[in-house]
């Protein structure tokens, strides 16, 4: 179990985690997180990455239930795989498996290479297991700063 926590911790970047994000729509969340990913050197183009996110959203719901969404964009604009996380000030509308909106968004930026995809799948499964736990989600929903988010996902 310890290795999983370490792998998650290593994948998290304080510069791409936002708490109390005041967004009203999915697009506003995507723009805020894509901006962070660009600032931290994960992606080259915000617009190209937003296109990839929108394309993926058309394929099906990325809300996994319990007010959590895990959207992802796979694109050539991704320099290195990364995760951006937003804890929203208010729940927003989001297509999900249990018809709840989203209040926690864990967004994945994935390189277009096979290697990028393999790495992404490992990380996705690690995080999905954590996000399936009610106590982790409730800690995220209560998170007031970056340290709270990291603690919730690595406990």
User: Whose CA is closest to 49, among 23, 18, 71?
Assistant: 71
Q: What residue spans of 13-91 are helical by DSSP H?
A: 26-39, 46-59
Write down the catalytic residue from 67, 72, 89, 120.
72
**Number of C-beta neighbours around residue 113 at 10 A:** 13
Based on the residue annotation, tell me whether 72 is a catalytic residue of this protein: yes
Identify whether the C-beta of residue 34 lies closer than 8 Å to the C-beta of residue 51. no
Eight-class DSSP state of 24: S
Chain centroid, CA 118 distance in Å: 17
Backbone angles phi, psi at 122, to 5 degrees: -60, -50
Residues catalogued as catalytic: 72
């Amino acid at each position: 179990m310890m290795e999983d926590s370490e792998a998650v911790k290593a994948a998290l970047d304080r510069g791409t985690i936002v708490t109390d994000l005041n967004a009203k729509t999915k697009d506003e969340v995507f723009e805020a997180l894509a901006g962070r990913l660009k600032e931290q050197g994960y992606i080259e183009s915000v617009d190209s990455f937003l296109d990839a996110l929108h394309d993926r959203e058309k394929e099906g719901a990325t809300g996994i239930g319990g007010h959590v969404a895990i959207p992802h964009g796979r694109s050539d604009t991704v320099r290195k795989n990364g995760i951006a996380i937003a804890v929203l000030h208010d729940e927003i509308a989001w297509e999900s498996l249990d018809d709840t909106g989203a209040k926690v968004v864990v967004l994945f930026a994935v390189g277009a290479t096979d290697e990028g995809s393999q790495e992404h799948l490992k990380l996705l499964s690690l995080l999905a297991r954590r996000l399936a736990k009610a106590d982790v989600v409730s800690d995220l929903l209560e998170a007031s700063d970056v340290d709270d988010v990291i603690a919730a996902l690595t406990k």
